[in-house]
Chain A
Amino acid sequence: MMVDTPKAAVLTGFGINCDVETMAVFEMAGAEAQRVHVNQLVTGADSLEEFHILAVPGGFSFGDHLGSGRLLGNRLRFAIREQVYDFVTSGKPVIGICNGFQVLVKMGLLPGDEEVSLSQTASLTLNDSGHYEDRWVTLEFNDASPCVWTDGLERMRVPVRHGEGKFVVPDAELLQRYFEQEQVVCRYVDPSTGYPSAADEPVAYPLCPNASMRNIAGVCDPSGLVFGLMPHPEANFTKWLGATWTREGEQSDWEGEGMAIFHNGVKYARNNL
């Protein structure tokens, strides 16, 4: 059965704060987006089953206390475990951005495993700089990745806005396996280099803003349906939000680079659900 207008659930509550713009970009990409408070899922007032796409937006859920994403991750992992499991195993796309990525990593959905066992294997920790930053970076995408959200993407300029964005997998073998399974979706690169140039050698601060292992900015699960990244593609939905747009001359099309991710997600849902 094909869905014309996929329904996207955009989680809200407890300090999530990018819900409004995340809803807007899904609408722009052709989905019908709805803000869903986590407790509406807990009480059963809403059910994830009714939706085709799940987005966990950025923010400061529970103030980042006890580590970013942990407390909201626990709400999802313990309070609505079944719903989350069913959603993911039914082949529906999920995206976590910034704090949403932290949530998906801390609850073990990313990088995840085929069994969707929800056990944590990676983490996002304090930037090596020791502080929160809002700055624009350049991402390069892995064209071999199964990620359904990033199909056809090469590079993208996006802001990072985080203090805990250093992606780490202390187990070197495991990290290598994520590479081999092409679960590493995007990495920080120096924009002055030619495409492709993503590499394992550390890209200098601030081009890689947080000293992530092997410059990793975003990963997907083995199926490619669940995707998370620290930077904010929704913040570049239009060119007038770009970091240097006033230097880039006249525009005929004002759609921003970040929209490609949401178009991909909606297209996937439309074609496959």
Chain B
Amino acid sequence: MGAAPVHRIEVTPRVLPGLQDTRGEGVRRQLAYDHDIEIESVRSITGYMVRAPLTGAQLLDSLRDLFTDPVIEHGVANQNLLDDDVMFTPPPEIAIQIGFKPGVTDNPAQAALGGLTTLYPDAGAAGDVATTMTYLFWGVPEDVEEKWLADQLHNPMIERAEIATRIHCRSAIWPQLPFPDRPPIQFEEPAIVDLEVSDTELERISETGLLALNLAEMQAIQAHYRDLGVRALREEQGLPPEAPTDVELECLAQTWSEHCKHKTFAALIHHKDTETGEDSSIDSLFKTHIVQPTLDIADEVDWLLSVFHDNSGVIAWNDDWSLCMKAETHNSPSALDPYGGAMTGIVGVNRDILGTGLGARPIANTDVFCFGPPDWSGHIPKGLFHPSRVMRGVHAGVRAGGNESGIPTVNGAMVFDERYLGKPLVYCGTVGIMPRRLADGRESHVKTPSPGDVIYMTGGKVGSDGIHGATFSSIELTEDSPSSAVQIGDPITQKKMVDMLIEARDAGIVQVTTDNGAGGLSSSVGEMAELTGGATIDLSVVPLKQAGLSPWEILVSESQERMTIGVKPEDCADFEALAELHEVEATAVGEFTNSGDFHVTYGDLTVASLPIEFLHDGLPQLELVSEWVPPEHESPNFPDVDAEGMGAVLAGLMARPNVASKEWWVRSYDHEVIGQTVIKPFCGVNHDAPGDAAVIAPLHGDTRGAVISCGITPRYSDIDTYAMVAASVDEAVRNAVCVGVDLDKMAGLDNFCWPDAIVSEKTPDGKYKLAQLVRANRALDDVCRAYRLPCISGKDSMKNDVTFDGEKISVPPTLLYSLIGNHHDVRKAVSSDFKQAGDAIYLLGETHQELGASELSCMLSESHGGGIGGQVPNIDAERNIGLYRALTAAMSAGLIASAHDCSDGGFATALAESCFGADSGCTVDIERLFADDEELDDWGALFGESLGRILVSIDSKDSEAFEAAMDGHACHYLGMVGEGDQIVIDSGEENLLRANLAILREGWKATLDGGAP
């Protein structure tokens, strides 16, 4: 490109009566909230570096029509705003300019370039734009260093900062970043990788190449290239006969990564249990404990349309529509760049929905995060962010990704534990909808590719960003982790593509589709090639963000917002016309074949040819060893308290991050776009009581609905992962029952996030961690069968460990269980808030002395020493499901005013939350609970976390009908909703707990108030 001049445009908000610089003010407030630093004033300047052949008049016009809001902003071109002594008097004390590093996605810049093209098509088409944000500070405390301030404002992994220090500012030397030009990349011809080397050398090749392949896998590849038949064929194809090209090795590494092939779940495990003496073998946890139960349930129901093999699981919602759901994790990228990592997480899982069958429309998101404690004051290994910063970044990324895509975030959770300081867990889920049949009669959940179909890559271009994401997430995180694995998403580019591809689907143009996620084209085309028995693609025609990428980089790059589509040759013109209308990039890159090979060229040169069978089935099975030794924990120290003191314990629990209100965070997600959200994240008279599960009615005006819920209880893993999984599944079901789910049509998703569970020097306790995984899978099998709850999709992330500065931090074994179910009539849906004074309150389900690893035990172990030991909640799934059925019937009959599940903090926190919803207290007597279990004490009754319990209220006039409906199930009348501001819990004559509702609410809201408003 010719050297067009770079015009510098600077824009700042006018500060007038009633108008503030909100961006600057936001920075000021956040520094005060997060760091207790009071700065007098912060202002902001948005900068655009515009490299385009614009005339002087065009530049000024674009300043007025495009870059500046003429009513509320002041903008200049090719002058420095800071020299304007009217705008900024006195000059700032510190000025810090932030811009993206070369090659990082700059969405505002792309939008600006598009806007410029609207005004001046020629100049825009030849142009390039980069943006900056400059923060100006006045009244900064002396002890705040400029460098520290800059570190709070940018992430050096993806951004640059230019600092004008106090000294610079006094001399009017202002920051000015250069245009982020990428150094030219040197195109490299495909290299040949000699595998005729020692085992040590094989391991070294894997490690230095970030291939994440173990020795057995490297040897399997070596053996493939020793095969005489293979050699002869390669000779014919013009490939090096005896060794792979780098393109082939990379393609195999992506396809065989833990991320893509789930090697631990597919492993042969020799399992020992020191408690029971069991000594057995399990041939694939996935097949044994996840697939088999679903297949068995599939024999009994007719609504499981597509399970496990596609990008999401599909169920028949009704005769005309199907629903699908998928959840993913984006933990490693979110650790390195919380904003970009989380955003690509949510827009990535949206593409899984778009890539299901012939394409489903994403209609609801779920977000579940696990972070270190937001108020953590302990040590943080060098190179890691403080958990509050991770939380802000992840939240902002998911907010932007979901909101800008127009997909409501309807359900989620936040969990805090110090072991998430290393890798946060960022679970992003999406629900999709599609018609059962297309106009041409094809079932939309079935892909229909044929040899000869043209392969299109749509959406974004390919860049050097996102190389090695799949393999990178399959190894632990260290200081040396590559920044190329971090990306920023572009939700609008993707939204345009969603609009276009749904139209293409409805027009009958799409034969097959999948997303370009982990492994990029190597995975997307490689996987779909299995359906027809082959594919050929030409990497030289793939549109690039920057010239010079080598063939292997083009093949494996995970650059965002891309889908791969198969289109019949006769439909290509229509497909391309749709792409043009929506301004979506679409390039024909190859075609499906039945040659048996995944064939890759770069122009005329063949750079890879891999037999489909070897690519997909050549991976050797891992053999692993697990051994269960039950852990030991001390009991908690229970303090001696009176009823007021017990009230204070409840207040303490309500203010714990795991229990506290997440309203500030959740309100900034759009949870209502599409006009379908019936039961929202909030309910109650003041719209601040937490909902249990989402109910949506996706067809406008139609009362048929769907329920979306989740369960996550990692605390119990410290005692037993069996209990952890049982509790997570029950929590998801319980939440769904609270809103009135159809128990005969619900399906689940298992998302495991585990620490490394393979014994090695780095992981000496691998056998125990693997035993934890075995127990977790057995619980999933047992409980899902009992609840008739098939798993339809899932994912595992098995390397959630970091080693920074020589310190290793591993996450506690964590399962997120997400649920999607049918709802017969959304007008019968129930919310968690008590409705009116005089309504009768009941606790359904049995309460046992189950305080092991409870939220209370964790709190007491922090405040009073002692451990978290004790009985973890046991599950009696048959008993629970019977009760759930009875309650569901009572809901259909219109007998239930409110229903709220008992989880973290037990019965007492559930009671407080239902009271918040009515803004009134209550008086209850829980003496009857003690009949459930003779071991039960006051602590267990109030704060124990026994499963299968739901707190309900009913209109008192319905008491008889309700009690009859619940006959045969544990159903304890406790008292009535009151009018005052007091929560009083008695046991017979004894007053156990007394608390003021306003005080409980204040603490509950304050902990995570985000720096209100």
Q: Give chain A residues whose Cβ lies under 8 Å from the Cβ of B72.
A: 123, 125, 168, 170
Q: What A residues does B356 contact at CB under 8 A? A: none
| Alpha-carbon gap, A97 to B107, bound state (A) | 24
A17 touches B673 (CB 8 A): yes
Decide if B26 touches A130 in the complex (CB within 8 Å).
yes
Residues of chain A within 8 A (CB-CB) of B676 are 21, 241
Closest to B898 in A: A246
Chain A 1-31 residues near chain B, CB threshold 8 A: 12-18, 20-21, 24-25, 28
The residue that A62 contacts in the complex, of B115, B669, B827, with Cβ under 8 A, is: B115
A60 to B399, CA, bound (A): 12
12 contacts between A and B (CB under 8 A): A17-B406, A21-B674, A21-B675, A60-B403, A128-B22, A134-B672, A170-B16, A237-B701, A238-B701, A243-B680, A247-B835, A254-B827
**CB-based contact A14/B492 at 8 Å:** yes
Q: Is A133 an interface residue (CB 8 A)?
A: yes
A240, B668: Cβ atoms under 8 Å? no
* Structural contact, A244 and B683, CB atoms closer than 8 A: yes
Which are the 10 A-B pairs with shortest beta-carbon distances? A17-B406, A21-B675, A65-B111, A24-B700, A130-B26, A126-B22, A246-B831, A60-B404, A123-B71, A65-B108
Q: How far is the CA of A240 from the CA of B16 in the complex (A)?
A: 42
Q: Which residues of A contact B499 (CB under 8 A)?
A: 12-13
With A18-B673, A62-B492 given, can you name 5 additional A-B contacts, CB distance below 8 Å? A14-B496, A63-B492, A70-B66, A246-B683, A254-B827
Name A residues whose Cβ lies closer than 8 Å to a Cβ of B.
12-18, 20-21, 24-25, 28, 37, 39-40, 43, 58-60, 62-67, 70-71, 74-75, 78-79, 106, 120-123, 125-136, 159, 161, 168-170, 205-206, 213, 232, 234-235, 237-238, 240-241, 243-244, 246-247, 251, 254
With CB as the reference atom, state the residue of chain B lying closest to A202: B18
Residues in B with CB closer than 8 Å to A64 are 404
Q: Is the CB of A243 within 8 A of B687?
A: yes
A17 near B14: Cβ-Cβ < 8 Å: no
Q: Which of B70, B667, B835 contacts A133 (CB 8 A)?
A: B667
Alpha-carbon distance A204/B141, docked complex (angstroms)? 32
Q: Give Cα A17–Cα B498 distance, bound, in whole angstroms.
A: 11
Task: Report the separation of the CA atoms of residues A20 and B111 in the bound assembly, to the nearest whole angstrom.
Answer: 24
Q: When each residue 576-601 of chain B gets 1 if its CB lies under 8 Å from chain A and 0 otherwise, what string results?
A: 00000111000000000000000000
A98 to chain B, nearest CB (A): 10
For window 226-259 of chain B, which residues contact chain A by CB distance below 8 Å? none
Q: Closest Cβ of chain B: how far from A110's Cβ, in Å?
A: 12
Complex Cα spacing A244 to B918, Å: 11
Q: Within the assembled complex, what's the spacing in Å between the Cα atoms of A58 and B669?
A: 15
Known contacts A70-B115, A247-B835; A232 and B22 CB within 8 A of each other: no
Q: Are A120 and B700 in contact (CB under 8 A)?
A: no
- Is the Cβ of B678 less than 8 Å from the Cβ of A66? no
Judge whether B685 is part of the interface by a CB distance below 8 angstroms: yes
A65 touches B675 (CB 8 A): no
CB distance from B489 to the nearest CB of A (A): 11
Determine whether the beta carbon of B668 is less than 8 Å from that of A134.
yes
Check A58 against B673 for contact (C-beta < 8 Å). Answer: yes
Contacting residue for A78 out of B29, B119, B1013, CB 8 A = B119
How distant is the Cα of A213 from the Cα of B71 in the complex, in angstroms?
14
Q: Which residues of A contact B22 (CB under 8 A)?
A: 125-128, 130
A28-B701, A135-B687, A246-B829 known; A213-B18 Cβ under 8 A: yes
Considering the complex, give the chain A residue whose CB is closest to the CB of B73: A67
Instruction: Choose one: A63, A213, A244; the contact of B685 (CB below 8 Å).
Output: A244
> Could you tell me the distance in whole angstroms from the C-beta of A25 to the nearest C-beta in chain B?
8
CA distance A67 to B71 in the complex (A): 12
Are A71 and B684 touching (Cβ within 8 A)?
A: no
B29 contact set on A, CB distance < 8 A: 130
B547 to chain A, nearest CB (A): 26
Flag B661-689 by CB within 8 Å of A: 1 or 0 each: 00000011111111111111011110100
- Set of chain B residues within 8 Å of A247, measured between Cβ atoms: 684-685, 831, 833, 835
Given contacts A60-B406, A78-B119, contact A65 B107 (CB under 8 A): yes
CB distance from B243 to the nearest CB of A (A): 46
**B675 lies within 8 A of A235 (CB):** yes
The answer to whether A170 and B18 touch across the interface, beta carbons within 8 angstroms, is yes
Identify the closest chain B residue to A61 (Cβ): B492
* Contact across chains for A136 and B687 when beta carbons are under 8 A apart: yes
Asked if A134 contacts B406 (CB within 8 A), the reply is no
Judged by a CB distance under 8 angstroms, whether B491 is at the interface is yes
A174 to chain B, nearest CB (A): 10
Asked whether B115 lies within 8 Å of A74 as measured between CB atoms, the reply is yes
Shortest beta-carbon distance, A85 to chain B, in Å? 17
Measured between alpha carbons, how far is A244 from B688 in the docked complex, in Å? 11
The CA of A134 and the CA of B19, in the complex, are separated in Å by 22
Tell me the complex Cα distance, A54–B404, Å: 23
Q: Is A170 a contact partner of B1013 (Cβ separation < 8 A)?
A: no
B399 touches A132 (CB 8 A): yes
Give CA–CA (A254, B827) in the complex, Å.
Answer: 9
A74 touches B673 (CB 8 A): no
- Determine whether the beta carbon of A126 is less than 8 Å from that of B678: no
CB within 8 Å for A79 and B830 given contacts A40-B581, A134-B670, A232-B672: no
Chain A proximity mask over B381-424: 1 for CB below 8 Å, otherwise 0 = 00000000000000000010001111000000000000000000
Residues of A contacting B25 in the complex (Cβ-Cβ under 8 angstroms): 130
A2 to B581 alpha-carbon distance, docked (Å): 34
Any A CB within 8 A of the CB of B51 = no
- Closest approach, in angstroms, between the C-beta of B871 and any C-beta of chain A? 36
Query: B residues within 8 A CB of A251?
Result: 827
Which residues of chain B from 811 to 844 have a CB within 8 Å of any chain A CB? 826-827, 829-831, 833, 835
- Residues of chain B with a CB closer than 8 A to A136's CB: 687
B112: interface (CB < 8 Å)? yes
- Chain B residues contacting A25 (CB-CB under 8 Å) are 675, 700
Tell me the bound Cα distance from A53 to B224 in angstroms: 66
Nearest-CB residue, chain B, relative to A255:
B701
Determine which residue in B29, B65, B674, B1013 has the highest number of CB atoms from chain A within 10 A of its CB, and name it.
B1013
A250 nearest in chain B by CB position: B894
Tell me whether B672 and A206 are in contact (CB under 8 A): no
Complex Cα–Cα for A106 and B119 (A): 16
Contacts A24-B701, A244-B687, A247-B835; A121 near B71 (Cβ below 8 A): yes
Residues of A within 8 A of B829 (CB): 240, 246
Residues of B within 8 A of A126 (CB): 22-23
Q: Is the CB of B108 within 8 A of A241?
A: no
Q: Output the nearest chain B residue to A77 by Cβ-Cβ distance.
A: B65
> Which B residues touch A129, using CB under 8 A?
1013
A59 / chain B contacts, CB cutoff of 8 Å? 406
Please indicate the chain A residues that have their CB under 8 angstroms from the CB of B679 in the complex: 246
B67 within 8 A of A: yes
With contacts A126-B22, A128-B22 taken as known, whether A78 is within 8 angstroms of B118 at the C-beta atoms is yes
Known A-B contacts A132-B399, A161-B673; A71 and B115 likewise in contact (beta carbons under 8 Å): yes
Question: Taking the nearest CB of chain B, how far is it from the CB of A18, in angstroms?
Answer: 6
Q: Does B102 sit at the interface, judged by CB under 8 A? A: no
Is B80 in contact with chain A by the CB < 8 A criterion? no
Report how far A40 CA is from B687 CA in the complex, Å.
Answer: 41
